[in-house]
Amino acid sequence: MIRQLVRIASPAFYSVPWAGLALGPAGWALNTQINYALVSWACSHNLNPFPAIAASLAALSLAGTLSSWLAWRRYDGPNMPLPERDGHPSHLLSGIGVASGILFAIVILMQGIAAMLLEPCLR
Protein backbone atom coordinates (compact mmCIF):
# COMPACT_ATOMS: atom_id res chain seq x y z
CA MET A 1 0.00 0.00 0.00
CA ILE A 2 2.78 2.44 0.95
CA ARG A 3 4.71 1.60 -2.23
CA GLN A 4 1.66 2.37 -4.33
CA LEU A 5 1.23 5.77 -2.67
CA VAL A 6 4.90 6.59 -3.20
CA ARG A 7 4.59 5.62 -6.86
CA ILE A 8 1.54 7.89 -7.30
CA ALA A 9 3.29 10.79 -5.57
CA SER A 10 6.41 10.54 -7.76
CA PRO A 11 6.73 12.88 -10.76
CA ALA A 12 7.32 9.90 -13.06
CA PHE A 13 3.71 8.84 -12.48
CA TYR A 14 2.42 12.12 -13.94
CA SER A 15 4.84 12.32 -16.85
CA VAL A 16 3.26 11.22 -20.10
CA PRO A 17 5.39 12.12 -23.15
CA TRP A 18 2.45 12.65 -25.52
CA ALA A 19 0.23 14.65 -23.11
CA GLY A 20 1.16 18.07 -24.53
CA LEU A 21 0.70 16.78 -28.05
CA ALA A 22 -2.82 15.55 -27.23
CA LEU A 23 -4.16 18.10 -24.73
CA GLY A 24 -3.01 21.21 -26.61
CA PRO A 25 -4.93 20.57 -29.84
CA ALA A 26 -7.85 19.10 -27.88
CA GLY A 27 -8.08 22.28 -25.78
CA TRP A 28 -7.94 24.45 -28.90
CA ALA A 29 -10.64 22.39 -30.63
CA LEU A 30 -12.85 22.55 -27.54
CA ASN A 31 -12.31 26.29 -27.25
CA THR A 32 -13.29 26.86 -30.86
CA GLN A 33 -16.38 24.65 -30.70
CA ILE A 34 -17.58 26.04 -27.36
CA ASN A 35 -17.12 29.59 -28.62
CA TYR A 36 -19.19 28.90 -31.73
CA ALA A 37 -21.88 27.12 -29.74
CA LEU A 38 -22.27 29.88 -27.14
CA VAL A 39 -22.30 32.95 -29.38
CA SER A 40 -26.09 33.28 -29.63
CA TRP A 41 -26.53 32.60 -25.91
CA ALA A 42 -23.86 35.16 -24.96
CA CYS A 43 -25.38 37.74 -27.29
CA SER A 44 -28.90 37.27 -25.94
CA HIS A 45 -27.80 37.39 -22.29
CA ASN A 46 -25.24 40.17 -22.83
CA LEU A 47 -22.47 38.12 -21.20
CA ASN A 48 -18.95 37.32 -22.36
CA PRO A 49 -17.79 33.97 -20.91
CA PHE A 50 -15.23 33.40 -23.68
CA PRO A 51 -12.11 34.77 -21.92
CA ALA A 52 -12.78 32.52 -18.90
CA ILE A 53 -13.31 29.52 -21.15
CA ALA A 54 -10.08 30.31 -22.99
CA ALA A 55 -8.15 30.67 -19.73
CA SER A 56 -9.36 27.32 -18.41
CA LEU A 57 -8.60 25.50 -21.67
CA ALA A 58 -5.18 27.15 -21.89
CA ALA A 59 -4.54 25.80 -18.39
CA LEU A 60 -5.51 22.35 -19.68
CA SER A 61 -3.01 22.73 -22.51
CA LEU A 62 -0.32 23.85 -20.07
CA ALA A 63 -1.07 20.85 -17.84
CA GLY A 64 -0.29 18.61 -20.80
CA THR A 65 2.85 20.65 -21.40
CA LEU A 66 3.90 20.13 -17.80
CA SER A 67 3.37 16.39 -18.08
CA SER A 68 5.45 16.25 -21.28
CA TRP A 69 8.14 18.37 -19.65
CA LEU A 70 8.30 16.01 -16.67
CA ALA A 71 8.73 13.14 -19.12
CA TRP A 72 11.45 15.15 -20.91
CA ARG A 73 13.31 15.63 -17.63
CA ARG A 74 13.01 11.94 -16.85
CA TYR A 75 14.92 11.15 -20.04
CA ASP A 76 17.39 14.01 -19.70
CA GLY A 77 20.60 13.94 -17.78
CA PRO A 78 24.37 13.72 -18.14
CA ASN A 79 25.68 10.37 -19.32
CA MET A 80 22.17 8.98 -19.54
CA PRO A 81 21.48 7.08 -22.72
CA LEU A 82 18.08 7.57 -24.24
CA PRO A 83 15.93 4.72 -22.97
CA GLU A 84 14.21 3.66 -26.15
CA ARG A 85 11.64 0.94 -25.62
CA ASP A 86 10.68 -1.07 -28.66
CA GLY A 87 11.68 1.75 -30.99
CA HIS A 88 9.46 4.37 -29.31
CA PRO A 89 11.36 7.70 -29.21
CA SER A 90 10.00 9.01 -25.91
CA HIS A 91 12.53 11.83 -25.60
CA LEU A 92 11.60 13.24 -29.00
CA LEU A 93 7.90 12.81 -28.29
CA SER A 94 8.29 14.66 -24.99
CA GLY A 95 10.00 17.58 -26.71
CA ILE A 96 7.33 17.79 -29.38
CA GLY A 97 4.67 17.57 -26.66
CA VAL A 98 6.20 20.50 -24.78
CA ALA A 99 6.46 22.64 -27.91
CA SER A 100 2.97 21.73 -29.08
CA GLY A 101 1.41 22.38 -25.68
CA ILE A 102 3.00 25.82 -25.43
CA LEU A 103 2.01 26.71 -28.99
CA PHE A 104 -1.63 25.72 -28.51
CA ALA A 105 -1.82 27.46 -25.13
CA ILE A 106 -0.69 30.68 -26.85
CA VAL A 107 -3.27 30.18 -29.61
CA ILE A 108 -6.05 29.61 -27.06
CA LEU A 109 -5.01 32.68 -25.06
CA MET A 110 -4.98 34.80 -28.23
CA GLN A 111 -8.54 33.71 -28.95
CA GLY A 112 -9.45 34.70 -25.38
CA ILE A 113 -7.83 38.11 -25.82
CA ALA A 114 -9.77 38.62 -29.04
CA ALA A 115 -12.96 37.72 -27.17
CA MET A 116 -12.16 40.36 -24.55
CA LEU A 117 -11.75 43.03 -27.21
CA LEU A 118 -14.84 42.13 -29.25
CA GLU A 119 -18.39 41.95 -27.99
CA PRO A 120 -20.13 38.58 -28.49
CA CYS A 121 -22.76 40.10 -30.78
CA LEU A 122 -20.10 41.28 -33.25
CA ARG A 123 -19.03 37.75 -34.13
Q: What confidence score (pLDDT) does residue 61 get? A: 96
Which residue ranges of the chain lie beneath pLDDT 70? 1-14, 75-88, 123
Q: What confidence score (pLDDT) does residue 119 get? A: 82
Predicted TM-score (pTM) of the model is 0.79
Q: What confidence score (pLDDT) does residue 6 get? A: 45
Q: What confidence score (pLDDT) does residue 5 get? A: 45
Contact 100, 94 (CB under 8 A): no
**Residue 47 burial (CB count, 10 A):** 11
